[in-house]
Amino acid sequence: MLSNFRAFAQSPLALVIIVLLVLSFAIAMPGAGGIFTGSGDAVVVVGPERISQREMAVAFNREVSRLQEQNPDVTREMAREEGIAYQVLQQQISMATMAARARDLGLAISNVAIVSEVADVPAFRNPVTDRFDRDTMAAALQRSGMTEDQFARDIEGDLLRSQLMATLAGFTDLPDQIAATRYLVAEEQRRMTGLVIDASTADEIEDPSDDVLQAFVDETPGANGEPLFTRPEYRAITLVRFQLEDFIRDVDVDEATLREVYDYEIATNQIGTPALRSFTQLTASDQAVAEDAASRLSAGESPAAIATELGLDAPLAQTDVQQFEIPDEGLGETVFAMSAGEARAIAGRFGWSAVIVDTAVDAVQPTFEDERPRLQADAARAQATDDMYDAISAFETVRATGASLEIAAEESGTPLEVFQPLTVNSVDADLQYDVERYEALAPEILPAAFDQLEGFETNLESYNETDFYTLRVDEVIPSRPFELDEVREQAERRWRSIQIDTQLQARAEDALAQLEAGLDMETVSLIAVGRTETATLKRGQTAGGFTRNAVSLAFTTEPGTHEMLQIGEGRYLVFTVDEIIPADIAAAPAADLAGIESSLTTELGNDVVAATREYLIRDYGITDESVDGRLYSLAIGETDPSTQR
């Protein structure tokens, strides 16, 4: 089956079908009707551009997923509360204004350009044929939560914005003084003396009572405004998964099939490099003339001179051709049996010829054993994919009768997984985090479970690019505050940290007052039980207790004055600027100034683009009142769609 599939993918008929698939995008681009049309209700309308509810939802979900890659504890609720949804809305509006103005100015993107962009997306290539594939595209878009309409609109919008912004950002010349000023600012230094007070010298903290800890647990707020010590929501699920790797393990690939695929790939030059010949051909009227011409070619005479003297047609030169590209099979076989510099008289299907081979490159072909691992992996994957789809079909056939997940799994021979209550980030009821369980469930499956109603089964969904799942939420355990005994250790550790920090802050404030009263740094260091540090730094540099924030503050502080700030948990710094050391522009390397000029050019271009966006938002009259609040709330999940009429 695999060899037949590969053979079809390389056939002229397959090429025609693939071309027609790609052209179908062009026929159905926005404004022409078809798969890339329609928008639905708009959250915001910007001139000729519309930001649909679905577009907003997809953009918000993408941003939440990006944040969760950095911090798995981030939830959609947290993202909304922290203003992420509003930031995404503003980004969408900004992009829409740029695209709208591009259209108003008459800029347009051709269907050919959009089709070309679509066909070049690597994720849309069939892994077997490495060609654009409509089904692969549909699956990839489904995994990312996008429709074909939206993807095409995104591409068109990106290309329009690129045209407009490339013009806006096209600055090249800047006054030399600007780069010189940037250099002076960057190279200026501050010499500083500081007093570091940290937890290593803190006084002992007495053990807290249960009442103190209970009040701390109840009242300490977290990032979302809820108590810090809050037990998250848990859900128990029943899960059925179809994972390609599970099916690959059971595949036994036939040796004959691998040989067949290898021979086909060799024959069609899909692997290795083919033999090539460059040669010159003189067509002769008979054998005697051909042999005479071949003899002269061997002697080094010019083919053109020979043709003129013997009254032959002009020489035909062929460069770097493969054997199948020579129409005369007999001629081709003989030419590819010859070496570079060799000349012969050859009787072909169309008569006699004298031929001299100019260059000869022999084929380089990997052996079957060299290719076996790849062939076996490809064949196993293809067979496993078929087996997995067969298993899915059997399972879904039973489920279509109304059977539960348990019955459908049993009758189709499909494994069933039951998970005790877990958080959305795969933490179990004992507050244990399992990395493997997280990687297997949390990125896609558990978030879907937390969007599902209890007792209902989901449709079969794709995930991990190759696999599928369906699930049922069996139990929902709501979020609640922790009991003291559940978090005593963590609560006491946090409480002690706060007590120590409060103590150290008071010490630092006293030290600041003493320095401002005229005591010297060494004396104050002894009183505050701290240590002194000195450093000479540029903007952005750090050393010891002089953190980035401290150095930034130092560059706004006049020499002789004192400042205090917290530089970490249980760490405070009280410092003074002793001296300002200016940069010497005469000593500035030319390469440094050139680099600064390049950076400034980019920055100014970005500033112009940003200013243009702000202007366009005002010009199109976009305000908070322009946003359809109901559709916006639906898009970011603030409102349950089932309650809408």
The owner of tokens 């079908």 is 17
Give the mean model confidence (pLDDT) for residues 436-465.
Answer: 90
Gap between the Cα atoms of 524 and 518, Å rounded: 10
Q: Is the pLDDT of residue 120 over 80?
A: no
pTM of the model: 0.44
Give the mean model confidence (pLDDT) for residues 347-363.
Answer: 91
pLDDT above 70 covers what percent of the chain? 87
| pLDDT tier at 403, thresholds 50, 70, 90 | very high
Q: Is the pLDDT of residue 435 over 70?
A: yes
Q: Helix (H, G, I), strand (E, B), or coil: what is residue 559?
A: coil
Backbone φ and ψ of 555, nearest 5°:
-80, 0
Position 429 scores a pLDDT of: 87
Q: Is the pLDDT of residue 642 over 60?
A: no
- Comparing 373 with 289, which gets the higher pLDDT? 289
Helices 368-399 and 2-10 pack at an angle, to 10 degrees, of 100
Cβ-proximal residues to 302 (8 Å cutoff; 6+ apart), any chain: none
Tokens linked to 254: 């036939």
Quick one: which of 364, 360, 368, 370 has its CA closest to 273? 364
Give the mean model confidence (pLDDT) for residues 560-570.
Answer: 93
Residue length, the chain?
645
Whole-number Cα distances in Å, 561 to 47, 385, 539: 55, 72, 19
Cβ-proximal residues to 32 (8 Å cutoff; 6+ apart), any chain: 111
Write the DSSP symbol of residue 478: -
13-171+612-643 is classed in which CATH architecture?
Orthogonal Bundle (1.10)
Whole-number Cα distances in Å, 200 to 492, 526, 528: 18, 15, 12
Gap between the Cα atoms of 125 and 137, Å rounded: 7
Tokens linked to 35: 């798969």
| pLDDT tier at 226, thresholds 50, 70, 90 | low
| pLDDT tier at 359, thresholds 50, 70, 90 | very high
Give the mean model confidence (pLDDT) for residues 134-147.
Answer: 72
Gap between the Cα atoms of 493 and 487, Å rounded: 10
Rank 46-55, 153-162, 226-235, 277-286 by mean pLDDT and report only the highest. 277-286
Q: Domain 273-361 carries which CATH code? A: 3.10.50.40
Give the mean model confidence (pLDDT) for residues 17-22.
Answer: 34
Quick one: which of 122, 124, 156, 126 has its CA closest to 26? 156
Backbone φ and ψ of 233, nearest 5°:
-70, 140
Q: Is the pLDDT of residue 27 over 70?
A: no
**Average pLDDT in the chain:** 83
Position 316 scores a pLDDT of: 92
Position 608 scores a pLDDT of: 75
Quick one: which of 250, 265, 270 has its CA closest to 386? 250
Tokens linked to 238: 């029943």
